[in-house]
Structure 1
Amino acid sequence: MTLAAIPSPPQGVWYLGPIPIRAYAMCIIAGIIVAVWLTRKRYAARGGNPELVLDAAIVAVPAGIIGGRIYHVITDNQKYFCETCDPIDALKITNGGLGIWGAVILGGLAVAAFFKFKKLPLAPFADAVAPGVILAQGIGRLGNWFNQELYGAETTVPWGLEIYYRVDDAGRFAPVTGTSTGEIMAVVHPTFLYELLWNVLIFALLLWADKRFKLGHGRVFALYVAGYTLGRFWIEQMRVDEATLVGGIRINTIVSAVVFIGAVIVFFLLKKGRETPEEVDPNYPETPTDGGEAEVASVASGKNESKKAGPIDGETTSTS
């Protein structure tokens, strides 16, 4: 028995009548809101129309969720396609299970198509969105805490995570949708917390590096990918949940290593410096006078020191 431990929530689902309120979904939504808010500030400071961020989010969010679920089902197919499995569970996204790789790939492709349609460069938006994305990922990891999933091996460290035995109304074991009986099944490494803290660290690193080196042309996004995969590589080693193995190695470990190397190479190959407001959006008349150099300081201080851009007549294309 440990002297101290982090308790898991007693449940991850609440009901308003017949309507389930799932903490996992709420965490994802909270992350999206924060990412959109931050990206609007950063993209406007770079010279882009902040209204496009909402439009891009409408395109990216559903594509990202679909892509994330597809990746999860493919890489953890043994959970959905076995003799005792119900394949329909693959569609139950609210039960947990989103692969970040699939979310970034499909969501990124959707946003790329959107910016191509708008005839605007993608790189400035990618650089603006990167810090918000990794912060949203960190917030989303709280959903794994509520679901009691993606944890590490048993441990006696003071910050170990208590995993409770949960049951449904009929007394059947229900680890995701049930309510805790108070019985502690195990005390494990809280890998969700490790990844959350790592994501916040990379978030701070991106803000600092963007301001210090005036990064642009997609280099902030490449740095985000490299930073996230570096952390995911070592955190993946601690997880004990079932996963698809390739040569005895978890597939997400392999993907993390490959993507990290690719991101580092791309970072150094991309053009140095930062785009001018005219390069970001030549059709947007009111742009920041500092060329986007003060967005990090303004966001950190809670004040937008760049000029606020207004909507363009005939150019606002919100599809919400």
Structure 2
Amino acid sequence: MLLASIPSPSVNGFHVGPLFVHFYALMYIVGISLAVMIGRRRWRAAGGHPAMVEEVAIWGVPFGILGGRIYFDLTTPAQIPPHWWGPLAVWDGGLGIWGGVALATAVCVWRLRRAGASVTGMMDALAPCLLVASGIGRIGNYFNQELFGGPTSLPWGLRIAPQFRPPGYLQDTTFHPTFLYELIWDLLLAGLLVWLGRRGRIAPGGLFALYVAGYSAFRMFEETLRVDYSQYILGLRLNFYIASVITLAALVWFAVLQRRHQQSAAEPPTGLATGEAAPEPVAGQDGGGALTRRVSG
């Protein structure tokens, strides 16, 4: 079975002169770069100026990393390295995606409103891009040999070196490659969101709500597999409960958006009831281009 398993790398980075480059950080850089490239195309297709995506990334990425690290420190304090710089040691892994998305979204909403841009339009444009970024970023966990699942004898079992196995699993050799599961799920979900956007039946902001719900629903499954350290409540990992609450909240959010969208579409344009002609749509100024079309791909 070992011949049919996935080997783990023996190194987690490389030297460039005196600088040591961690693959964990490199994977997130690659993922974010791809997300920006795709986001520019989607925002341009929606009628916006692509430079607005780069501005959002400039604000969102650092605050996303900060929010992700704060979430990690608050939910898994026992995993913080015992040094003064331990709470900031993102190069060793440890970014909670919900904290990152929450803080980055709040900051980006503030920036978009200041620029007069469409908040829901940008959220929908970037929803698939965020999945691409997080999925590729998970490859960094593969190089760190972390966030794997329980033991498995499946042909795609991931071989983990003994020093990275948690207590109670030292006798096991191959584990569920949850990084790979999440990568596949994220890319499939991103493709689904793009397809739904092209159909033009999703309310503004709905794609982002589905992104939150879809990713969190997968994390419910993933949390039942993982064996790394976590806080437990009633035998289940803390993040399982958080994922459950966020999934439900996002689905309710999506349902409310869709209902309002359908009600708005059913209402006659102003003036038609008195025989007046419907006013022509006016393109709004948003600092990055008017959103005059649906996000379509």
1:149 paired residue number: 146
Which piece of structure 1 moves more, 56-65 or 36-45? 36-45
Question: Do the aligned partners of residues 43 and 285 (structure 1) sit closer, same or farther apart at CA in structure 2, a change above 3 Å counting?
Answer: closer
By how many angstroms is 1:265 displaced?
0.6
TM-score (norm 1): 0.79
2:225 paired residue number: 238
Q: CA RMSD in A?
A: 2.5
By how many angstroms is 1:2 displaced?
3.6
Please list every run of 5 or more consecutive structure 1 residues that lacks an aligned counterpart in the other structure. 166-172, 176-183, 297-320
Q: Distance in 2 between matches of 1:146 and 1:279?
A: 51
Q: Distance in 2 between matches of 1:232 and 1:201?
A: 15
Aligned-pair identity (%): 38
1:202 paired residue number: 189
Question: Do the aligned partners of residues 247 and 86 (structure 1) sit closer, same or farther apart at CA in structure 2, a change above 3 Å counting?
Answer: farther
By how many angstroms is 1:281 displaced?
4.4
Question: For residue 282 of structure 1, what is the amino acid of its counterpart?
Answer: Q
Equivalent pair of 1:120/1:280 in contact (CA under 8 Å): no
Indicate which of 119, 124, 140 corresponds to 1:122: 119
1:282 paired residue number: 285
Question: Do the aligned partners of residues 286 and 65 (structure 1) sit closer, same or farther apart at CA in structure 2, a change above 3 Å counting?
Answer: closer
**1:113 is aligned to 2:116:** no
Q: Distance in 1 between matches of 2:179 and 2:17?
A: 30
Equivalent pair of 2:158/2:177 in contact (CA under 8 Å): yes
1:162 paired residue number: 159
Please give the residue correspondences for 1:133-144 in structure 2 after superposition, counting only pairs within 5 Å: 133-144=130-141
Indicate which of 167, 183, 187 corresponds to 2:174: 187
Please give the residue correspondences for 1:93-104 in structure 2 after superposition, counting only pairs within 5 Å: 93-104=90-101
Structure having the larger proportion of residues in helix = 2
By how many angstroms is 1:286 displaced?
7.1
TM-score (norm 2): 0.85
Please list every run of 5 or more consecutive structure 2 residues that lacks an aligned counterpart in the other structure. 165-170, 266-280
2:251 paired residue number: 264
Question: Do the aligned partners of residues 283 and 76 (structure 1) sit closer, same or farther apart at CA in structure 2, a change above 3 Å counting?
Answer: closer
Structure having the larger proportion of residues in strand = 1
By how many angstroms is 1:102 displaced?
0.5
Q: Distance in 2 between matches of 1:18 and 1:279?
A: 56
Question: Do the aligned partners of residues 288 and 246 (structure 1) sit closer, same or farther apart at CA in structure 2, a change above 3 Å counting?
Answer: closer
**1:31 is aligned to 2:31:** yes
Question: Do the aligned partners of residues 280 and 129 (structure 1) sit closer, same or farther apart at CA in structure 2, a change above 3 Å counting?
Answer: farther
Q: Distance in 2 between matches of 1:287 and 1:114?
A: 16
2:234 paired residue number: 247
Equivalent pair of 2:48/2:291 in contact (CA under 8 Å): no
Q: Deviations over 1:140-167 (max 9, x none)?
A: 01000010000011111110001135xx
By how many angstroms is 1:3 displaced?
4.4
Equivalent pair of 2:116/2:285 in contact (CA under 8 Å): no
Return structure 1 stretches of 4+ with deviation > 6 angstroms: 284-289
Equivalent pairs counted in the alignment come to: 274
1:9 paired residue number: 9
By how many angstroms is 1:214 displaced?
3.7
